[in-house]
């Protein structure tokens, strides 16, 4: 499993990791599959904002630049919308202020429709299209 620390920061899920040689793909770079796994974990945590829990339905990843090994890597995700049993979110990977990966995904609720937890209704911006 990637050495990924995750936390809630207002309307964002944030994360940080430093990937060593065990996570190498191209020489000196993090393997894209490792970044996909880390993004799946990060973006799934947007479900902390809702009452239901589900599984990854789709995860679309765009690699924008190589992500170096042995360098702090920052992750960010946000909940974009809830539509019945679908939760849509976006994620990104950053190194020294440069975005190296972008992602979007859909999570499918295992049991009923998604609904925001009451404590997060005011924490999420109204322009996200998230309906409780």
Report whether 56 contacts 105 (CB < 8 A): yes
45 class by beta-carbon count within 10 Å (0-12 exposed, 13-18 middle, 19+ buried)? buried
What is the maximal distance between C-alpha atoms in the chain? 47
What pLDDT was estimated at residue 1?
82
Measured CA to CA, the distance from residue 21 to residue 60 in angstroms comes to 25
pTM for this entry: 0.91
Give the model's pLDDT for residue 129. 53
CATH numbers and ranges of domains, the chain: 5-119 (3.10.129.10)
**The pLDDT value given to residue 74:** 98
Are the beta carbons of 68 and 29 closer than 8 angstroms?
Answer: yes
Q: How many residues does the chain have?
A: 132
Reading phi first (left if > 0) and then psi (alpha if -120 to 50, else beta), residue 84 is in: left
Query: In DSSP terms, which residues pair with 126 in a beta bridge?
Result: none
Tell me the pLDDT of the chain (132 aa) as tens digits.
Answer: 889 999 999 999 999 999 999 999 999 999 999 999 999 999 999 999 999 999 999 999 999 999 999 999 999 999 999 999 999 999 999 999 999 999 999 999 999 999 999 988 887 766 555 544
User: According to the model, what pLDDT value does residue 56 have?
Assistant: 98
* Tokens linked to 120: 């997060």
Alpha-helical segments (H) within the chain: 32-44
115: left (phi over 0), alpha (psi -120 to 50) or beta: beta
């Amino acid at each position: 499993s990637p050495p990924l620390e995750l936390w809630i920061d207002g309307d964002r899920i944030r994360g940080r990791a430093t990937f060593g040689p065990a996570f190498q793909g191209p020489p000196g770079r993090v393997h894209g599959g490792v970044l996909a796994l880390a993004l799946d974990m990060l973006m799934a945590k947007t479900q902390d904002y809702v009452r239901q829990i589900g599984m990854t339905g789709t995860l679309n990843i765009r690699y924008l630049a190589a992500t170096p090994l042995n360098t702090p890597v920052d992750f960010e995700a946000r909940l974009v919308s809830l539509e019945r049993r679908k939760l849509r979110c976006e994620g990104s990977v950053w190194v020294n202020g440069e975005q190296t990966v972008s992602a979007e995904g859909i999570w499918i609720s295992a049991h009923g429709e998604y609904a925001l937890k009451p404590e997060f209704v005011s924490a999420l911006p109204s322009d996200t299209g998230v309906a409780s």
